[in-house]
Amino acid sequence: MQTVARNFFTLAVIYALFGMALGLQMAISKDHAQMPTHAHIMVAGWLMSAVFAFFYHLFPAIGRKTLATVHFWLTAISGIGLLIGLYIMLAGNPAIEPLVATSSMGFYAGLLLFAYIALPVVWKVERLAEAQKA
């Protein structure tokens, strides 16, 4: 794995470790108040980062472009802000909600950027594969 793919995969593993640790902590304490945070860490953090990593691994030339680096940093910074903010908010501190909202919008912007980067590549590959069959 190179550059952005490696960075996203590393981030995915870190999210998985934190998500599992939070899940274990909730199970041991029998306090499941942080279940939404756990779910966000595992899906938005672990799963999405892993999917991004494998896309950039499959298309390494795309992963070397500036937009891919922007995608990584936008997703990493907003995702970390979202998950830490969500944890703090669910722990009883509603004043952090503006951080959660702003980070959520940043994370969504990262997904929109990924769609802009990935969908043309995937459609182009599909068209090339069909043309080779003909």
Select from 52, 73, 54 the least CA-distant residue to 117: 52
Q: Per the structure, how many domains does the chain have? A: 1
Instruction: Give helix 3-29 / helix 48-58 axis angle, nearest 10°.
Output: 160
Percent of the chain's residues with pLDDT above 90: 88
13-27, 47-61, 75-89, 113-127: segment of lowest average pLDDT: 113-127
pTM of the model: 0.88
Give CA 121 to chain center in angstroms.
19
State pLDDT tens for residues 94-103.
Answer: 999 999 999 9
96: Cα within 13 Å, side-chain hemisphere: 16
Contact 79, 50 (CB under 8 A): no
State pLDDT tens for residues 27-51.
Answer: 999 999 999 999 999 999 999 999 9
Separation CA 34–CA 93 (nearest Å): 13
Q: Which range marks the domain in which residue 91 is found?
A: 3-132
Average pLDDT score over residue span 119-128: 80
Percent of the chain's residues with pLDDT above 70: 92
Average pLDDT score over residue span 84-89: 96
Burial of residue 77 (number of CB atoms within 10 Å: 0-12, 13-18, 19+): middle
